[in-house]
Structure 1
Amino acid sequence: MTRPTRATPRPPRALYLAFYFPPSRASGVFRARATANLLAERGWEVTVHSAPREFFARYIDSYDASLEASVHPAVRVERPPMSYFRWERDLRRYGPLRANLPVLANAAYNWAQANVFPEHYASWIPHVLRHALRAHLRRPFDVVIASGNPFASFAAAWLIGRLTRVPYVLDYRDAWTFNQFTEELKFPPRSRAWEWEARVLRDAAEVVFVNEGMLRWHAERYPFAAGRMRVVPNGWEPEILGAASGAATAGEASGGGRRPGPLRFGYLGTVTSYMPLEELFDGWRLARAHPELADAELLVHGHLGFFPHDAAPLMERIPTGEGLGVSYRGPVEKARVGEVYRDLDVLLFCVPGARYVTTGKVFEYMATGKPVVSVHRPGIAAEEVLRGYPLWFAGEELDAADVAASMVAAARAARTLTPARTRAARAHAARFTRAATLTPWERRLRALAASRGAQVGAASGSDAGTGADAGERLLHGEGARR
């Protein structure tokens, strides 16, 4: 007699709504890529919905083709279309309505922004719905994850959840309704944005934030969702940093310390208008008068802003022509990040000052095991992870004198750095690898997916989920028009 065998459980299936995903070079791409990769590594079937490549390459010129190679091969990436109304400047690419009745077209667009969904990416939502529902009818998803910004992904997740009963999770890597750099509200009290934010939070299975400050702000404003809010910090990838985060260099291992030559201070990351560049370079002017830094260099690596028009005004704020040893080295491909870190002696953590700002770079900086100088307003969220790092140098105020004092102290530490102190610094950073920060979240997502599977099986014995008829009605629609 043959005994019945238990069916092998299928892997959990996730739909990940991440508008900014490789090949985009936006800062939020790295969290999204790391999340998708880790889920795939842990056996999930992952489908990512991202923006069209054309949007990154043609309309915002924020594109790095090399980043696509770093996406796990098992991750399926789909690119639902969208309207480029907000970005299109070529009259030949206008749709018929805009080309023939531009005033009416603009009025209709502005009305939709004010009365339907107040975000320029809103046109992505119906196309995400069509792609998602079509895929769900074939192979049902167990959980939907939405990354913001943009927050059209949150609205799409909510709509998918309403139609299919698939639970969704919101990932606030940025704030929606307030500016985390200026700490000011982005929308007037009667804006639809507040209605939408309350709506998506009310039905979310879980809501995650990059730091405690952002969680507290949202928990106070939306107490009905506070019990479902969690922190999932950013982190760093050992495979990207390579030797910069691994074993001691030859010099460190032999006790010889750093490489010979002038000290190299460096910043690696996107340079933005919010950064305290004046305080950074005023502090550098003072510090370079000290014997410890007499011949030191300050190297700036990275893009100047996120868009082409950002570059010129930012370049004017970098004093490369004053004989201070300051130079701008340009963008760095992800494959070369470890090499750049390896050649620097002191890292300059220069970021906008706000309680809600962490940034992903702080984790990479710590992973190098090298001195880190803070150039930001005291009290920002990044200090939560820097606290306990043995090579962190920060003043009590954001001014030239305190920045200079921190630079001098870091220079001394770099010249006398021992293998033991490097190991201690890297041990602190090891708590923040992507695997360490994302694993607890992956376990909660897996439990959520398992719960979803049990509910569907009990309700229908079918693999199709609910809301199929409603989904069918949304599968047919007009393509994106400019």
Structure 2
Amino acid sequence: MNQARPHMLYVCWGYPPCRGGGVYRALATANRFAEQGWKVTVLTADKETFHRFTGADLTLEERIHPDIEIVRVPFEWPILEADLRKWSKSRAQNPKLWSKWRTKRDQIPFPETGYGPWRSTIEKAAEQIHQANKVDLTVATANPHVTFAAAYDLFKKFDVPYVMDYRDAWLLDVFSGDRLHEPNSRAARWERKLVKDAQEVWFVNDPILDWHKDLYPEHAGKMHTVANGFDPDLVPSTQDRGAVTDRPLVFGYVGTVSPKVPLGDFVKGWQLAKQQSDDLRDAKVKIHGYLGYYAQPRADMLAIINNAADDQVSYEGPVGKAEIAKAYDEFDVQLLMLGKGRYVTSGKVFEYLATGLPIVSVHDPMNAASDVLRGHPLWFPVKDVADPQTIADALIEAARAARTADEGIRAKAREFGASYRRDLQLDPRISALSERVGAVV
């Protein structure tokens, strides 16, 4: 171990300026290790990757801890290449056949479409980082899961312990609950050996953790829930704003609207609620974020919102993380819209909790997010997302709370949310790893 301070290599694909959902966990994890006195090196993709494919949030780069060293390596994503001038002749002649061939080729180095070829690049880079400044611990976060290969490579060649940090799961479909890969598949074989040799394995919620404990009972002791939490400096003021009595209410959503999000069902419920409640007669809905996973908004989602313009539903576009507090400051009620899934939490729920404002859960009651929110005094869950009337009922109740909730209830809501600060989730694991790295050395 370095005499001055231990060296942690953090391997991730999405890191600022990437604007993907997992980037906040990556940013916060690396920052917290640095704040706790570790030397931190981040191995990630080059900036062009994010500017071209996912969209970039330049404000996030300002939040990187000044002591962190960033090593950016090339990443190629041919299947998303939109510039026809860069297509091969065979691809231009038969795009579907080329796509099938490319998918198979991607998985030769590592069983992950799109990301498999990145394995050799990050393994080589990780070795160079270790040779230049000995690495004491590797933390690799997924997805993509190919990042684990770099951590495993350092372990096998140089005996560097590693942590596997899952944002979702590799073998589990968190929406359907189905298994994605058979036990004898390459993905399953890779995960078995990775889990076997890992120092720790982190998951974002208890249901995903429990699923993996059942799958790998002999390694259950090294598995931990490290919830996403919220970043105190990036959320709006949690001071009590008081009841809203003198103006129309504003309902707000912040985050990526994925195809799983029940956007159309919400709009139907919203339209009913406006008809049935005076509190909502002049109320507005503001949706901030990306419509779909890429920079260009999905046309079908945009159409749903635009068609509800007369009901005062508007799309506000993406919002930078550093400006996100301004967006929240406009809200009186927060909309937590999620896809269905027992294992789905979303990092957004913790940010919502930090504000102390009312929350309407427009998602299946069985989602893992319900486990987080249960007990919140200003939580209004929808009983059946497929029934617009139950959505309307929850919206009406939340509107009434925004108009009438007293200072005592609002204080309890803020207190409830405060326990989910991100550093409180990370610190126990960082402390344990510090002791183990020191003990091994």
Range class of TM-score, shorter chain: over 0.9
Letter in 2 for 1:76: E
| RMSD across aligned positions (CA) | 2.7
**Counterpart secondary structure, 2:304:** coil
Are the counterparts in 1 of residues 123 and 149 from structure 2 also a CA contact under 8 Å? no
Residue 98 of structure 1 and its aligned partner are, at CA, apart by 9.2
Q: Please state whether the residue corresponding to 1:327 is helix, strand or coil.
A: strand
**1:332 aligns to 2:319 (yes or no):** yes
Report Cα offsets for 1:22-50 as digits up to 9, x if no partner.
00000000001011111111111000111
2:240 is matched with 248
- In 2, the alpha carbon distance for the partners of 1:274 and 1:377 equals 11
- 2:164 corresponds, among 170, 195, 205, to 170
> Residue 278 of structure 1 aligns with which residue?
264
Q: Partner residue of 1:131?
A: 125
> 408, 417, 427: which one pairs with 1:429?
417
Change in Cα spacing, 1:311 to 1:95, as seen in structure 2 (3 Å) is closer
Structure 1: give runs of 5+ residues left out of the alignment.
1-6, 455-482
User: Mean Cα displacement is larger for which, 112-121 or 136-145?
Assistant: 112-121
Q: CA deviation at 1:324?
A: 1.1
Preserved contact between residue 209 and residue 215 of structure 1 (Cα < 8 Å): yes
- 1:185-236 deviations in Å (ceiling 9; x for gaps): 3335543111111121111111010001111111222223222111000111
Aligned partners of 1:19 and 1:51 also within 8 Å: yes
166-175 or 289-298, which moves further after superposition?
289-298
1:449 is the counterpart of 2:437: yes
CA drift of 1:115 comes to 4.5
The answer for the alignment partner of 1:121 in structure 2 is: 115
Cα distance in 1 for residues equivalent to 2:14 and 2:303: 29
State whether residues 364 and 382 of structure 2, in contact with CA within 8 Å, keep that contact through their aligned partners in structure 1.
no
Q: CA deviation at 1:90?
A: 4.2
Instruction: Give the TM-score taking structure 1 as reference length.
Output: 0.85
Residues 239-281 of structure 1: CA distance to partner in whole angstroms, max 9, x if unpaired? 11142x2x334xx3xxxx3362111111111111101112211
Unaligned runs of 5+ in 2: none
| Alignment pair present for 1:265 and 2:255 | no
**Distance in 2 between residues matched to 1:311 and 1:395, nearest whole Å:** 26
Cα deviation, residue 311, structure 1: 2.0
State the distance in 2 between where 1:128 and 1:97 align: 29
Within-5 A mapping of 1:452-467: 452=440, 454=441
Match of 1:79 in 2: 72
SS of residue matched to 1:432 = coil
C-alpha deviation, 1:317, in angstroms: 2.3
Contact 1:258 1:415 in 2 (8 A): yes
User: Which letter maps to 2:44?
Assistant: S
Match of 1:157 in 2: 151
Describe the shift of the 1:215–1:240 C-alpha distance in structure 2 as closer, same or farther (beyond 3 A). Answer: same
Aligned equivalents of 1:280, 1:103: Cα separation in 2: 36
Q: How does 1:48-447 map to 2 (within 5 A)?
A: 48-58=42-52, 60-90=53-83, 93=86, 109-119=102-112, 120-188=114-182, 190-243=184-237, 245=238, 247-249=239-241, 252=242, 257-258=243-244, 260-289=246-275, 290-308=277-295, 310-321=297-308, 323-398=310-385, 399-447=387-435
C-alpha distance in structure 1 between counterparts of 2:357 and 2:22, whole Å: 25
Higher Cα Rg: structure 1 or 2?
1
Supply the distance in 2 between the matched residues of 1:406 and 1:283 (Cα, whole angstroms): 9
State the distance in 1 between where 2:144 and 2:100 align. 23
Deviations 1:280-310 (A, max 9, x none): 1111111111222111111111111121455
Residues 237, 165 of structure 1: alpha-carbon distance in 2 compared, 3 angstrom cutoff: same
Secondary structure at the aligned position of 1:397 is classed as coil
Check conservation: 1:112, 1:118, Cα contact below 8 A.
no
Q: What is the alpha-carbon distance in structure 1 between the residues aligned to residue 97 and residue 12 of structure 2?
A: 32
SS at match of 2:259: coil
Change (3 A) 1:392 1:110: closer
| Aligned twin of 1:462 | none
Distance in 2 (alpha carbons) for counterparts of 1:429 and 1:42: 24
Measured in 2, the distance between the counterparts of 1:97 and 1:323 equals: 48
Work out the number of aligned pairs and report it. Answer: 438
Query: Greater relative contact order (Cα 8 A, min sep 6): structure 1 or 2?
Result: 1
For 1:443 and 1:97, locate their aligned partners in 2 and report how far apart those are by CA, in whole Å. Answer: 54
AA of the residue aligned to 2:150: A
SS in 1 for 2:170: coil
SS in 2 for 1:332: coil
What TM-score does the superposition give when structure 2 sets the normalisation length?
0.92
Percent sequence identity over aligned pairs: 39
SS at match of 2:45: coil
1:23–1:67 contact (8 Å) kept in structure 2: yes
